[in-house]
């Protein structure tokens, strides 16, 4: 389901989302919760903005030397007894993972939350290979049992309410007594904990993503609040890390800078509960831990992004602050974006991966209000990068015809002031006559999109320029 792309149908998706009452109710909680907590956390740390600069600089430095840090990282992982696999695209990454699972005779794999796993459509592929994937992050588990994709990069089930969760648990956990009380979120959490605890202990392979990879030590890092990712990687025979190549950072000090802005930007916590640094498989003296450690490094279009403006997008640390602050995300939620990455970061990243032909709606569906850039912990100029995609779309003549035509007519006049001024005078004179009595229009030809939701004010009359110059001429005569 996760590789199924509905981004071209963004408008229809959005329309459905706007009419979906439970979804709207869930979305109404996104802003107040996340925004207030982030603001409070940022306010408690006077160095927060300086840390954002530091985080940006670390990522810029790493990306400019990415080949060398990748080499260093790879050497260190191997030295620690781990394996590094490079995957050019999604299909190759899926094959690498299933090959490891098959070799180990894996029946079930537990999974920590990984957006790269969603990007490569891993769960469907594992299932098709007869290997059962079990999502262990509570939000991911909720959407897995519903057969849905995540609607947010850090809160995948943010579109659901507890009644929906209860109904799903009664359907899926049919072996539990039907009369049990699940009316409170605590009961739902306890049930998920109980169900998943067995799966953790049974799993043959654990798959997690990575928030960061450290070149200095060959370490992968995951950040969780539940502890699910940590159990996922500690208990099974093998731990597989799925990471896209821009997760690299040079040193432990560098990652500490980034961790100081990550949780504060994401959930408004000072630090997430579990920050786990993993280096290779279990050591000879260890009494627990995975016997094998594999890292799959995925490119999937990212290396190409290093060449131009889009390199800035590769600084992203997946905190979700951009979508938490986005008025469009608040209105339509994550599924409307039609692929794995929603919100402003998705609007920039998605076209890089699935192509601008399919992803063109996403960078267009922004008011350019700039709030995403204002809160981004690594200062990605998201509106500028969305505009970059709009330019690509325009250059390649992919802009929808009515829009291109409208823009063409407008620019024809705007570039010819001697035509623009009489034309606007005439148009405003006409409109002001028509709207004289009401002061506004409730329908207007060619402006149906506007007047479907709001009135359009009637112009006052003559244009400002005409009036100004008439007055000036009059003053000159006096």
Q: Which residues contact 373 (CB under 8 A, 6 or more apart)?
A: 379, 380, 381, 382, 383, 384
Q: Between 130 and 464, whose beta carbon lies closer to another protein?
A: 464
For tokens 């039907």, name the residue. 178
Sites for another protein among residues 296-325 (CB under 8 A): 297, 299, 303-307
Report whether 337 contacts 10 (CB < 8 A).
yes
Task: Give the whole-angstrom CA distance, residue 248 versus residue 302.
Answer: 13
Report whether 87 contacts 299 (CB < 8 A).
yes
Token readout for 75 is: 């050497």
Binding mask 76-105 for another protein (x = CB under 8 A): x---x----xxxx---x-------------
Beta bridge partners of 456: 441
Q: Between 121 and 435, whose beta carbon lies closer to another protein?
A: 435
Q: Does 375 bind another protein (CB under 8 A)?
A: no
- Least separation in angstroms between residue 37's CB and another protein is 10
Q: Does 277 bind another protein (CB under 8 A)?
A: yes
**Which residue in 3, 5, 18, 145 binds another protein (CB under 8 A)?**
18
Q: Between 1 and 407, whose beta carbon lies closer to another protein?
A: 407
Report whether 334 contacts 384 (CB < 8 A).
no
From 60, 135, 129, select the one nearest 95 (Cα to Cα): 129
From 114, 120, 106, select the one nearest 137 (Cα to Cα): 114
Q: Does 191 bind another protein (CB under 8 A)?
A: no
Q: Does 200 bind another protein (CB under 8 A)?
A: yes
Q: Does 439 bind another protein (CB under 8 A)?
A: yes
Q: Does 195 bind another protein (CB under 8 A)?
A: no
Q: Does 358 bind another protein (CB under 8 A)?
A: no
According to DSSP H, which parts of 368-400 are helical? 371-375, 382-395
- Least separation in angstroms between residue 203's CB and another protein is 12
- Least separation in angstroms between residue 340's CB and another protein is 18
Token readout for 64 is: 């400019």
**Which residue in 147, 178, 417, 476 binds another protein (CB under 8 A)?**
417
Please tell me what DSSP assigns to residue 85.
E
The helix-helix angle for 464-477 and 417-434 (nearest 10°) equals: 100
Q: Between 116 and 328, whose beta carbon lies closer to another protein?
A: 328
Q: Between 128 and 414, whose beta carbon lies closer to another protein?
A: 414
- Least separation in angstroms between residue 3's CB and another protein is 20
Q: Does 215 bind another protein (CB under 8 A)?
A: yes
Sites for another protein among residues 111-140 (CB under 8 A): 136-139
216: Cα separation from own chain's centroid? 28
Q: Between 102 and 368, whose beta carbon lies closer to another protein?
A: 368
Q: Between 175 and 453, whose beta carbon lies closer to another protein?
A: 453
Please tell me what DSSP assigns to residue 18.
H
According to DSSP H, which parts of 47-149 are helical? 48-64, 66-79, 90-103, 115-119, 122-128, 138-146
Sites for another protein among residues 454-473 (CB under 8 A): 454-465, 467-469
307: Cα separation from own chain's centroid? 22
Q: How many residues bind another protein (CB under 8 A)?
A: 173
**Which residue in 21, 175, 285, 475 binds another protein (CB under 8 A)?**
285
Task: Give the whole-angstrom CA distance, residue 385 versus residue 477.
Answer: 52
**Which residue in 4, 107, 180, 283 binds another protein (CB under 8 A)?**
283
Q: Between 8 and 289, whose beta carbon lies closer to another protein?
A: 289
**Which residue in 14, 349, 354, 380 binds another protein (CB under 8 A)?**
14
Contact segment (CB under 8 A) with another protein among 114-122, 126-134, 205-213, 358-366 equals: 358-366
Task: Give the whole-angstrom CA distance, residue 202 versus residue 131.
Answer: 13
Sites for another protein among residues 148-187 (CB under 8 A): 155-158, 160-162, 165, 185-186
Q: Which residues contact 173 (CB under 8 A, 6 or more apart)?
A: 191, 195
Token readout for 259 is: 């961790």
- Least separation in angstroms between residue 181's CB and another protein is 15
From 333, 325, 310, 313, select the one nearest 372 (Cα to Cα): 325
Report whether 1 contacts 146 (CB < 8 A).
no
Q: Does 29 bind another protein (CB under 8 A)?
A: yes
Q: Does 227 bind another protein (CB under 8 A)?
A: yes
Q: Does 22 bind another protein (CB under 8 A)?
A: no
Beta bridge partners of 14: none
Q: Between 61 and 170, whose beta carbon lies closer to another protein?
A: 61
Token readout for 468 is: 């100004």
Q: Does 442 bind another protein (CB under 8 A)?
A: yes
- Least separation in angstroms between residue 131's CB and another protein is 22
Q: Does 228 bind another protein (CB under 8 A)?
A: yes
- Least separation in angstroms between residue 275's CB and another protein is 4
């Amino acid at each position: 389901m996760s590789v199924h792309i509905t981004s071209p149908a963004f408008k229809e998706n959005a329309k459905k989302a706007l009419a979906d009452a439970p979804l709207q109710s869930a979305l109404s909680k996104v802003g107040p919760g996340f925004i207030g907590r982030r603001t409070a956390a940022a306010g408690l740390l006077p160095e927060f903005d300086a840390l954002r600069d530091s985080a940006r600089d670390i990522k810029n430095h790493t990306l400019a030397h990415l080949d060398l840090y990748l080499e260093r990282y790879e050497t260190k992982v191997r030295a620690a007894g781990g394996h590094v696999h490079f995957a050019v695209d999604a299909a190759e990454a899926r094959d690498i993972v299933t090959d490891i699972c098959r070799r180990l005779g894996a029946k079930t794999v537990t999974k920590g939350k990984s957006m790269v796993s969603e990007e490569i459509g891993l769960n469907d592929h594992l299932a098709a290979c007869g290997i059962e994937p079990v999502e262990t992050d509570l939000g991911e588990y909720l959407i897995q049992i519903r057969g849905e994709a995540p609607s947010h990069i850090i809160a995948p089930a943010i579109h659901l309410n507890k009644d929906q969760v209860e109904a799903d648990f009664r359907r899926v956990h049919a072996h539990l007594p039907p009369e049990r009380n699940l009316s409170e979120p605590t009961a739902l959490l306890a049930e998920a904990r109980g169900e998943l605890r067995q799966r953790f202990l049974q799993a043959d392979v654990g798959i997690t993503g990575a928030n960061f990879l450290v070149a200095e030590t060959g370490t992968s890092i995951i950040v969780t609040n539940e502890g699910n990712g940590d159990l996922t990687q500690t208990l099974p025979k093998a731990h597989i890390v799925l990471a896209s190549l821009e997760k690299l950072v040079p040193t432990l000090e560098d990652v500490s800078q980034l961790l100081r802005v990550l949780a504060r930007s994401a959930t408004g916590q000072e630090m997430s509960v579990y920050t786990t640094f993993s280096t290779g498989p279990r050591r000879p003296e260890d009494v627990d831990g995975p016997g094998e450690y594999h890292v799959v490094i995925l490119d999937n279009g990212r290396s190409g992004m290093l060449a131009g403006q889009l390199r800035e997008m590769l600084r992203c640390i997946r905190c979700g602050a951009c979508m938490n602050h986005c008025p469009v995300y608040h209105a339509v939620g994550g599924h409307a974006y039609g692929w794995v990455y929603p919100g402003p970061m998705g609007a920039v990243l998605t076209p890089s991966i699935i192509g601008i032909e399919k992803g063109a709606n996403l960078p267009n569906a922004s008011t350019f209000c700039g709030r995403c850039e204002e809160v981004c912990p690594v200062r990605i100029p998201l509106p500028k990068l969305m505009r970059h995609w709009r330019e690509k779309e325009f250059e390649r003549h992919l802009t929808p015809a009515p829009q291109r035509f409208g823009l063409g007519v407008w620019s024809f006049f705007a570039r010819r002031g001697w035509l623009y001024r009489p034309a606007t005078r005439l148009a405003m004179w006409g409109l002001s006559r028509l709207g004289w009595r009401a002061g506004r229009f409730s329908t207007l030809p060619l402006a149906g999109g506007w007047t479907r939701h709001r009135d359009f004010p009637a112009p006052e009359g003559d244009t400002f320029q005409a009036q100004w110059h008439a007055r000036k001429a009059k003053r000159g005569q006096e």
